[in-house]
Structure 1
Amino acid sequence: MQIGSILAIYFIVWWVVLFAVLPFGVKSQAESNAVEPGTDPGAPTRPLLLRKAIATSILAALVTAGLIYLARSGVVRLEDLPMPFKTDMD
């Protein structure tokens, strides 16, 4: 597997993991009774984005390493993945 493929997989995995990690530990302004005037009460008080970005990077690296291992060991092959059928018009 080439480095470009590995980086592309990591990029996709990073975004998927980010959306899974974002809701962890979030308290809204309404829950913490600290609603700032002019903001939505559902807005987070402390989103902790730097911590979440670091956690996302580490988790994405682990998931990507696992996927690379599965691909290189032969456990999962491209032929095993479901592909759309070819039509006669191709």
Structure 2
Amino acid sequence: MKWTSALAIYLLFWAFSAFFVLPFHGRKAEDDAVPLVKGQEPGAPATVRPLRILIQMTIVATISFLIYYVAYVRGWVDPDVLSGRA
């Protein structure tokens, strides 16, 4: 696998990891008894910590990519089978 392909696949894993990480960051503003700002959704998070979210996304993406890469190197993931050519 070329390093550019590996980088592209890693970036896809990183982007998709947001769907696994973000649902776990959800203390609502109404749960914290914080006064809501006019126009604020009651279900919106009380605080947002983007650096923490990015770090968790990176950890999830790295672990997922390593699992994929080991499977690719050992031949468990065959590109021809996945593309329907075999």
Same fold by TM-score, threshold 0.5 exceeded?
yes
Range class of TM-score, shorter chain: 0.7 to 0.9
Q: Which amino acid aligns with 2:15?
A: W
Matched residue, 1:36: 36
Aligned length: 84
The aligned counterpart of 1:69 is 70
| Larger Rg over CA atoms | 1
Alpha-carbon RMSD across the aligned residues, in angstroms, is: 1.7
Moved over 6 A (4+): none
**Which structure shows the higher helix fraction?**
2
Q: Which runs of 5+ in 2 are unaligned?
A: none
Aligned to 2:59: 58
Gaps of 5+ in 1: 85-90
- Sequence identity percentage: 29
Q: TM-score, normalised by structure 2?
A: 0.84
TM-score (norm 1): 0.80
